[in-house]
Structure 1
Amino acid sequence: MFNRYNLSEPHNGIYEFTTDQNAVYSVYFSDGHSYFYDYPEFCADVLTFGFDRLNHHQKTSYDYKIKATITYLIYSYLEARQDKILFFVCDSADSRGNARMRMFHRWYTHLSWDTIEKHDESIVTSDMCIHCSILLHKNHPMKNFIRSSFRSLSYTTAEKLKSY
């Protein structure tokens, strides 16, 4: 694996790192049970995942160590907590949701993780497309039920959004 940046954990579930170009990133895991509240069998084990660049004052060039750091954190997190499910939505508020989904897909495919599965869904309505994914350990005892619930969740969410 590529070199990566040193991570600090200034708050529980929130990690930070600073790049060689002094860009500061925050990577977070937070409670995501509300997305899956209809599935009490596992909703307490759902976490949302995301990351943000905290200082946007300068344009930076591509930095492979950002990917290496973030993917290392995800992998390590799920290896240490095999009962957890990471859920993330590729934010489309800035019309870059498709690009984010492609980027995460490339990251996952490139890494060829043996023990972590990624499942994607798209919530499509007449005026938007929201891409979301789950990551879970291949040994998760409820893996099939979780995958099925995730597919159902995206379908029912799309139907709800269409009714607005």
Structure 2
Amino acid sequence: MVYHLMNSEKQVLDLQPYNYITYKPDYYTFVTAYKYEYHCYFYDFSAAFSEYPELAPKVFGFNLDLVFKPEGLTRVPPDPGIAVTVTNILKTFLSKNENAVIYICDYSDNREKARFYTFTNWFRRFNDGSVVHLKGMIRAGETTILNAMLINRENPLLNDFIEAYEILTGIYTKPDNDYLDNILNDGDW
């Protein structure tokens, strides 16, 4: 799969995903051009959907972990190849299954807004329309948990997943689109 991206000089760059290794149907690893190593994996997220027994076994969480950083490099340089690779892995996982994927932005280091912004923009740029991307937020006390649900547009349970997700996130405080757009446009993180 090849993606086209316009750079600031309006030249078209052909972007291909990094080669990745599939260790199991739900665990992938890849190394970037800058020698950063990432692991992507899916895990059981059924407990959150326990009120929906038909959907629960088909709900997976998703993590992207940076597991190796080259010595001397302190910050990951901008690399659209990471975005292309991750969105490709997610689309492939969703195309073969009647599953839904939940992505929760880690908030342990107060960088959840940056993660939410990055992940959302990856899907704005590289989603070919095959994946429905729902954005959500859950408030737990003073903590705001930013998240997203991804579902293949052709999933026969699409409407059921959307309804369940909206109900579950709505229980804890459903954000309006203005609030989420403000987070995406907040340059203060």
Number of the residue aligned with 1:25: 38
Change (3 A) 1:4 1:112: closer
Q: Deviations over 1:2-47 (max 9, x none)?
A: 1221111234411001112211100001111111111101111111
Q: CA deviation at 1:156?
A: 2.7
Counterpart AA for 1:87:
I
1:69 aligns with 2:85: yes
Instruction: Give 4+ residue runs of structure 1 displaced > 6 Å after superposition.
Output: none
- Residues 1:100 and 2:93 are matched in the alignment: no
Determine the C-alpha separation between the residues in 2 that align with 1:125 and 1:29.
Answer: 24
| Rounded Cα–Cα distance in structure 2 between residues aligned with 1:54 and 1:108 | 23
1:49 and 2:68 correspond: no
Number of aligned residue pairs = 158
Query: Match for 1:111: what amino acid?
Result: F
Confirm whether residue 144 of structure 1 aligns to residue 159 of structure 2: yes
Q: When the two structures are superposed, what TM-score results if normalisation uses the length of structure 2?
A: 0.77
Q: CA deviation at 1:111?
A: 2.0
Q: What's the offset of the Cα at 1:118?
A: 0.7
Q: Which runs of 5+ in 2 are unaligned?
A: 4-14, 174-189
TM-score (norm 1): 0.88
**Could you report, residue by residue, the CA deviation over 1:35-89 in whole angstroms, capped at 9, with x for unpaired residues?**
11111011111111110100245333211111111111111111122x1101111
Q: 1:124: Cα distance to partner?
A: 2.4
Q: CA separation in 2, counterparts of 1:18 and 1:137?
A: 26
Residues 136 and 169, structure 2, Cα contact 8 Å, conserved in 1: yes
- Tell me, what secondary structure is at the counterpart of 1:71? helix
The one-letter code matched in structure 2 to 1:78 is L
- Structure 1: which 5+ runs fail to align? 159-164
Which residue number corresponds to residue 99 of structure 2?
84
* Conservation of the 8 A alpha-carbon contact between 2:138 and 2:145: yes
The offset of 1:142, in angstroms, is 2.1
- Once residues 140 and 56 of structure 2 are traced to their aligned partners in structure 1, the CA distance between those partners, rounded to angstroms, is 25
What is the aligned partner in structure 2 of residue 118 from structure 1?
133
Measured at CA, do residues 125 and 33 of structure 1 come closer, stay the same or move farther in structure 2, by a change above 3 Å? closer
Among 23, 42, 60, the alignment partner of 1:10 is 23
Rounded to whole Å, the distance in 2 between the matches of 1:154 and 1:109 is 22
Q: Decide which moves more: 12-21 or 120-129.
A: 120-129
Give the superposition deviation at 1:126.
Answer: 4.8
